[in-house]
Amino acid sequence: MIKVFSQNHAYGIEIGRGLLSSLGRYCSRLSVGKDAFIVTNARVKRAYGGICALSLKEAGFTVSFCLVGDSEKSKSLAVCGKVLERLAGFDRGKRPFIVALGGGVVGDLAGFCAAVYKRGIPYVQVPTTLLAQVDSSIGGKTAVDLKAGKNLAGAFYPPRLVVTDVELLASLPRRQLVSGMAEVVKYGVISDPGLFRRLEADSSKILAGGLKELEYCVERCARIKAAIVSRDEREEKGLRTILNFGHTVGHAVEAASCYSGITHGEAISIGMACACSLSVRLGLLDGANAARVENALRLYGLPVMAGNTLTPRLIIEPLFRDKKFKGKNRFVLLRDIGRPVIVDDVSPELIREVVRARIRS
Ligand SMILES: NC(=O)c1ccc[n+]([C@@H]2O[C@H](COP(=O)([O-])OP(=O)(O)OC[C@H]3O[C@@H](n4cnc5c(N)ncnc54)[C@H](O)[C@@H]3O)[C@@H](O)[C@H]2O)c1
Ligand SMILES: [Zn+2]
């Protein structure tokens, strides 16, 4: 078990194969409540709802499902309101806790509902996408989107437990797996040269869904994220900032594409390629290492160039609105694989030049 420390409470991340059928047993070791309110979507319920509910019932919990739509649109105040009303209806003389069974969308929404219902009830994350297993289920950031931007209404509210069953990745569409691999490459690049070398060596096994290799990746990444958020939960000490490698330009690419047609992982892959180019141009990183990062991204079929429907202006304007850009032209750059550095005041001309070179002509 990996332990995460937070201002609220410490919690564990259990990682392995076939763990979903032990979910009830894990929950019964905690004092989370007696009545499980499972937030999920129809696709995930079809595949895993049965095992999840059976495991909870066998451990003595009552179970109710709450289905939300399968898209980012579910991360809204409107859907949050519906979930809370359903939860209030379920919660008559009960001791409810939430089980977030799904990817990052379900995890962020269900976590936010848990944070605000009765000023906070326990919840358990059961991440089912690679992105959720290596990233969104850990660290307690919960949120819904507003018209003005993504994740604008949120709370730091850690789960009581994360149960990560890598077998659930077997049913993930390839594009989602590849998208999650962008985050895995990010962890290797910012903090784990050993993981990075394994990613270079094992791409065909990983892309074929090799569970042994995927479990290694998930476990390494979860450890890295757990260590970082345990020391800087609220992004106050600059440590959590390094997780943003590739995300400054990545978020801008997503915004420029109006969050459709490109996955988060594909966008941050382009962002990581830009961050490497900036690092080389600023004399921080040598060209050979930048090429290694680019090559690793390509091995997983991730893009390093943006499509030509994007213009430099479309990408650069949202960049200057990014809430993490902080008006200081702040970037997480690289000195070496495993050695990130935060750099302020990167010149807008250089940013423009690097972004322009990353748009396919
Ligand atoms: N809280 C955080 O720290 C944090 C960090 C990163 C991202 N996020 C958020 O995560 C969200 C993206 O999450 P995501 O990439 O997991 O997308 P997602 O939740 O939309 O899931 C992607 C797709 O995969 C399907 N799916 C999920 N599990 C499956 C499985 N095992 N088999 C088959 N299909 C499955 C889903 O139904 C969906 O269609 C964004 O809203 C982002 O803002 C949050
Ligand atoms: Zn990300």
Band of residue 30 on the pLDDT scale cut at 50, 70, 90? very high
Output the pLDDT for position 327: 63
| 176, 224, 233, 243: residue to mutate for ligand 1 pocket, most atoms within 8 A of CB | 176
pLDDT band at 214 (very low <50, low <70, confident <90, very high): very high
Higher per-residue pLDDT: 86 or 317:
86
DSSP code at position 170: G
Q: Is 127 in the pocket of ligand 1 (CB under 6 A)?
A: no
CB 239 within 8 A of CB 320: no
Name which residue sits closest to atom 4 of ligand 1, judged by CA.
136
107-153 pLDDT tens trace:
999 999 999 999 999 999 999 999 999 999 999 999 999 998 889 99
| Beta carbon of 131 within 6 Å of any ligand 1 atom | yes
What's the token pair of residue 235? 């992004």
The CA distance from 212 to 43, in Å, is 25
For residue 184, the ligand closest to its alpha carbon is 2
User: Residue 324's pLDDT is what?
Assistant: 63
Quickly list DSSP for 120-142.
---EEEEE-SHHIIIIITSS-EE
Residue nearest to atom 12 of ligand 1 (CA): 104
The CA 353 to ligand 2 mean position distance, Å, reads: 24
52 CB within 6 A, ligand 1 = no
pLDDT above 80 for 319: no
The reply to whether ligand 1 has any atom less than 6 angstroms from the CB of 164 is no
Q: Say what the pLDDT of residue 317 is.
A: 78
- pLDDT-derived band at 328 (thresholds 50, 70, 90) equals confident
pLDDT at 8: 83
CA atoms within 13 A on the CB side of 167: 10
Measured in Å, residue 34 CA sits from the centre of ligand 2 at: 34
Question: Is any atom of ligand 1 closer than 6 Å to the C-beta of 135?
Answer: yes
Distance of CA 214 to the CA centre of its chain: 16
| Residue 280 structure tokens | 């080389």
Q: Is the beta carbon of 49 within 6 A of some atom in ligand 1? A: no
User: Could you tell me the pLDDT band of residue 311, with boundaries at 50, 70 and 90?
Assistant: confident
| Mean pLDDT (the chain, rounded) | 94
Q: What mean pLDDT comes out for the span 215-229?
A: 97
What does the angle CA 23 – CA 158 – CA 78 come to, to the nearest 5 degrees?
95
Nearest atom within ligand 1 for CA of residue 132: 16
Does ligand 1 lie within 6 Å of residue 199's CB atom? no
**Position 323 pLDDT exceeds 90:** no
| Residue whose C-alpha is closest to residue 120's, from 97, 89, 86 | 97
Residues annotated catalytic, as ranges: 119, 141, 183, 225, 235, 240, 244, 247, 251, 264
Q: Alpha-carbon distance 325 to 315, whole Å?
A: 14
Q: Which-ligand-closest: CA of 46? A: 1
Higher pLDDT: 351 or 313? It is 351
Q: Nearest ligand to the C-alpha of residue 167? A: 1
Which ligand has its closest atom nearest to the C-alpha of 265? 2
CA of 101 to the centre of ligand 2 (A): 19
What gap in Å lies between CA 81 and CA 85, rounded to an integer?
6
Q: Is 141 in the pocket of ligand 1 (CB under 6 A)?
A: yes
Tell me, what's the pLDDT at 308? Answer: 75
DSSP state of 317: H
- Counting from 1 in the atom list of ligand 1, the atom nearest the Cα of 41 is 37
